[in-house]
Copies of this chain bind each other. A is one copy, B any other.
Amino acid sequence: MAGNSIGEFFRVTSFGESHGKALGGIIDGIPPGLSLCEKDIQGDLNRRRPGKSRYTTQRRETDIVEILSGVFQGITTGTSIGLLIHNVDCRSQDYNDIKDVYRPGHADYTYMCKYGLRDYRGGGRSSARETVIRVAAGAIAKKYLRKYNVIVRGFLSQMGNICCSLNSWDEVENNDFFCPDTSCLKELDLLIRHLKKSGDSVGAKVTVVAENVLPGLGEPVFDKLDADLAHALMSINAVKGVEVGDGFSVVNKYGSENRDEMTSSGFSSNHAGGILGGISTGENIVVHIALKPTSSIMIPGMSVNVFGDSVQVITKGRHDPCVGIRAVPIAEAMVSIVLMDHWLRQQAQCMDVFNSYLKKIS
Contact = CB atoms under 8 A, between A and B. Distances in A.
A215 B110 CA distance: 7
A294 to B, nearest CB: 6
Given A28-B4, A79-B124, A161 B252 contact: yes
A274 B346 CA distance: 28
Contacts of A114: 78, 215-218, 279, 346, 350, 353
Nearest to A1: B11
A346 to B, nearest CB: 7
Contacts of A201: 254-255
> Top 5 closest A-B pairs, CB basis?
A107-B277, A3-B219, A105-B259, A3-B223, A231-B231
A202 B346 CA distance: 33
Nearest to A161: B252
A328 interface: no
Interface in A110-164: 110-111, 113-119, 121, 124-126, 130, 158-161
A339 to B, nearest CB: 14
Contacts of A344: 348-349
A348 B350 contact: no
Interface string A211-247: 0000111111111101111111111010111111111
A115 B78 contact: yes
A82 B23 CA distance: 8
A14 B262 contact: no
Interface stretch (A39-47, A54-62, A69-77, A173-181): A69-77
Contact of A256 (B79, B200, B230): B200
Interface residues of A, number: 159
28 contacts: A2-B219, A2-B345, A3-B224, A4-B28, A5-B11, A5-B222, A9-B348, A13-B28, A23-B69, A33-B117, A77-B124, A79-B125, A107-B279, A115-B216, A201-B254, A201-B255, A202-B253, A202-B254, A235-B278, A240-B246, A241-B250, A242-B242, A253-B292, A256-B299, A259-B295, A262-B302, A262-B303, A344-B348
Contacts of A195: 254
A329 interface: no
A205 interface: yes
Contact of A250 (B1, B16, B240, B351): B240
Contact of A105 (B11, B124, B249, B258): B258
Nearest to A253: B203
A50 interface: no
Given A78-B115, A252-B203, A278 B220 contact: no
A244 B240 contact: yes
B264 A352 contact: no
Nearest to A281: B110
Nearest to A204: B251
